[in-house]
């Protein structure tokens, strides 16, 4: 039986949440302000004008399109490589297994600026010109970690007896993967893919070192804050980024919160 939390703990939790989320709410408020060049509080008046202006800005659409393409391809690469790494680490035993696991998760543990400098140096040494694909490779380095962590946790909960039973019944490796393994890890992969997409979509630091002259949406926002033309448009785009990253995270949470048991166990 769970006891009720004391009021002091509830108040502390509320203050913590307010500290985290009030700045984000301010961005939403300033997306509707009539003031163009400053952050005046309270806003003098409210308007939907800037949403229309943002809709007509071709540079916004170009940056948005680039971000979606990069995030989508980075997520696909991460799903394939992250799942294979998770399967190798969790289902087999070999020398150096824990070291490989550490190396896989290392990119997300390092500061982004270290990863960015390392990637830029590697591309320069290999004489690879900065392009769309250098951004994708940069993002895939940390997207793989997200998919790997989700997949390896689900693989470790998957009973080996299910795979052995499938093999005993005459299924080959592909059939076992399709009908036994994939249904058990599907929600973990979907959640990992959604989180990877969200991380890639709003990534700034690694993109700065690997993008060259291209601008993803977060890079576009950073440049607009430094040299603002229409400040509320930046707030409108920020609202768009918040929504596009929040929805996959919420979906990933609901997909994995009840994932303590693997499908097929206990039947």
203-260 confidence digits (pLDDT tens): 888 888 888 788 888 888 887 777 666 677 777 888 877 777 777 777 767 766 654 4
Can you give the pLDDT at residue 261?
41
* Residue 60 belongs to some domain of the structure: no
In a domain, 50, yes or no: no
For residue 101, how many other CB atoms are within 10 A of its CB? 17
Greatest mean pLDDT among 92-96, 151-155, 247-251 lies in: 151-155
Report residue 76's pLDDT band, with 50, 70 and 90 as the boundaries: very high
The larger pLDDT score, comparing residue 4 to residue 116, is at 116
111 pLDDT higher than 60: yes
CATH value at residue 146:
1.10.3720.10
Q: How many CB atoms lie within 10 A of CB 14?
A: 10
Gap between the Cα atoms of 37 and 232, Å rounded: 8
Residue of 126, 266, 119, 267 whose CA lies nearest to 207: 119
Residue 55 belongs to a domain: no
Residue with tokens 């300033």: 30
Task: Give residue 43's pLDDT.
Answer: 67
Residue 82 lies in a domain: yes
Residue at 15 is within a domain: no
Structural domain total, the chain: 1
Please state the rounded mean pLDDT for residues 108-130: 84
Cα(127)–Cα(172) distance, integer angstroms: 44
Longest dimension (CA), the chain: 73
Residue 256 in contact with residue 187, Cβ under 8 Å? yes
Confidence band, pLDDT 50/70/90 cuts, at residue 37: low
Reported as a pLDDT band with limits 50, 70 and 90, residue 266 is very low
- φ, ψ of residue 42 to 5 degrees: the values are -75, 155
CA triple 57-61-135, angle to 5 deg: 135
Q: Which whole number is the average pLDDT over 178-199?
A: 80
Question: Domain range holding 124?
Answer: 68-214+249-256
**4 part of a folded domain:** no
**Which one-letter DSSP state was computed for residue 227?**
S
Q: Is the dihedral of CA 39, 44, 46, 48 positive or negative?
A: negative
Q: With beta carbons less than 8 A apart as the criterion, state whether 219 and 70 touch.
A: no
pLDDT of residue 58 exceeding 50: yes
The two three-digit tokens of residue 136, written as one number: 């994708």
Choice between 35 and 267, residue whose per-residue pLDDT is larger: 35
pLDDT at position 217 is 84
Top-confidence range, 33-37, 162-166, 205-209, 227-231: 205-209
220 or 91, greater pLDDT: 220
> Does 59 fall in a domain?
no
pTM reported for the whole predicted model:
0.75
Q: Is 203 left (phi over 0), alpha (psi -120 to 50) or beta?
A: beta
Residue 238 belongs to a domain: no
Instruction: State yes or no: cis peptide before 42, omega within 30 of 0.
Output: yes
Instruction: Find residue 46's DSSP bridge partners.
Output: 33
Residue 192 · residue 147 · CB < 8 Å? yes
pLDDT at 125 over 80: yes
Paired residues of 33 in beta bridges:
46
pLDDT tens track for 167-176: 767 776 677 7
Q: What is the pLDDT of residue 267?
A: 32
Tokens 């990119």 label which residue? 107
pLDDT value for 122: 87
């Amino acid at each position: 039986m769970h006891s009720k939390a004391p009021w002091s703990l509830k108040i502390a939790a509320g203050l913590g949440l307010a500290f985290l989320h009030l700045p984000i709410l301010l961005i939403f408020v300033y997306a509707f302000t009539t003031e163009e060049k400053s952050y005046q509080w309270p806003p003098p008046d409210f308007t939907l004008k800037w949403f229309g202006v943002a809709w007509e800005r071709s540079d916004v659409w170009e940056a948005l399109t680039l971000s979606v393409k990069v995030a989508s391809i980075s997520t696909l690469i991460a799903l394939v490589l992250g799942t294979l790494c998770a399967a190798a680490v969790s289902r087999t035993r070999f020398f150096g297994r824990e070291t490989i696991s550490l190396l896989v998760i290392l990119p997300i543990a390092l500061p982004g600026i270290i990863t960015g400098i390392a990637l830029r140096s590697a591309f320069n040494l290999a004489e690879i010109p900065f392009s769309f694909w250098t951004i994708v490779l940069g993002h895939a380095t940390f997207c793989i970690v997200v998919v790997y962590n989700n997949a390896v946790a689900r693989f470790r909960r998957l009973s080996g007896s299910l795979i052995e039973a499938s093999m005993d019944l005459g299924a080959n490796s592909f059939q076992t993967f399709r009908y036994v393994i994939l249904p058990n890890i599907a929600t973990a992969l979907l959640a990992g893919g959604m989180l990877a997409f969200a991380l890639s979509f709003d990534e700034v630091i690694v993109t700065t070192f690997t993008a060259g002259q291209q601008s993803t949406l977060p890079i576009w926002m950073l440049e607009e804050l430094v040299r603002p033309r229409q400040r509320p448009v930046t707030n409108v785009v920020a609202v768009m980024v918040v929504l596009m990253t929040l929805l996959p995270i919420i979906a990933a949470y609901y997909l994995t919160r009840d994932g303590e048991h693997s499908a097929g166990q206990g039947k």
